[in-house]
């Protein structure tokens, strides 16, 4: 065939790729490569770390829940002496606030009602009227339990 008979050829024997078909194919290839790269990156973030060392905590200043130990030092976090130095454990006072949070304080033999009330108020602030009612109730419970023990 002669070069002038309908074939689009360039000098040097190369095909003319300026028509739209090849441009669409190339645009689709670029878009597919970008999509596959985004998927690979998303999968890479979703996987856990492959190192043997444990991950560092995300918020080191956040307090962690420590379950209460039975028979050990009851109020270790409040700066009080251990339970053995404070006497025999009488009961555990649990106060539930209006928001649903529960404050638990272990009451020992020899504790005063005012001291127990102060420990509850240190964790959950109370109005003076509620503080007085709590102190009276703790006093009743102390008399009831110390009288039998």
Mean pLDDT value of segment 85-89: 76
pLDDT at 75: 47
Task: Give 97's DSSP letter.
Answer: -
Mean pLDDT value of segment 87-101: 85
Question: Cα separation of 63 and 112, whole Å?
Answer: 30
Q: Residue 51: pLDDT band by 50, 70, 90 thresholds?
A: low
Give 108-149 pLDDT, tens digit per residue. Answer: 888 899 999 999 999 888 899 989 999 999 999 888 887 654
> Could you state, in order of their start, the residue ranges of all structural domains in the chain?
7-49, 76-148
Please answer whether residues 91 and 101 qualify as being in contact, where contact means their C-beta atoms are separated by less than 8 angstroms: no
Structure tokens, 96:
């539930």
Crossing angle of helices 113-123 and 128-148, in 10° steps, is 130
Mean pLDDT value of segment 83-88: 66
């Amino acid at each position: 065939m002669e070069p002038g008979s309908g074939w689009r050829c360039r000098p040097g024997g190369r095909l003319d790729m300026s028509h739209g078909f090849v441009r669409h194919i190339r645009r689709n290839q670029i878009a597919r490569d970008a999509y596959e790269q985004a998927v690979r990156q998303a999968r890479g973030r979703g996987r856990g770390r492959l190192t043997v060392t444990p991950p560092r905590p995300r918020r080191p200043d956040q307090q962690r829940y420590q379950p209460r130990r039975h028979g050990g030092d009851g109020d270790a976090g409040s700066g009080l002496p251990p339970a053995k130095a404070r006497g025999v454990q009488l009961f555990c006072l649990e106060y539930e606030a209006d928001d649903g949070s529960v404050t638990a304080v272990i009451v020992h033999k020899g504790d005063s009602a005012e001291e127990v009330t102060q420990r509850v108020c240190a964790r959950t602030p109370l109005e003076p009227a509620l503080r007085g009612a709590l102190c009276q109730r703790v006093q009743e419970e102390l008399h009831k339990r110390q009288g039998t023990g």
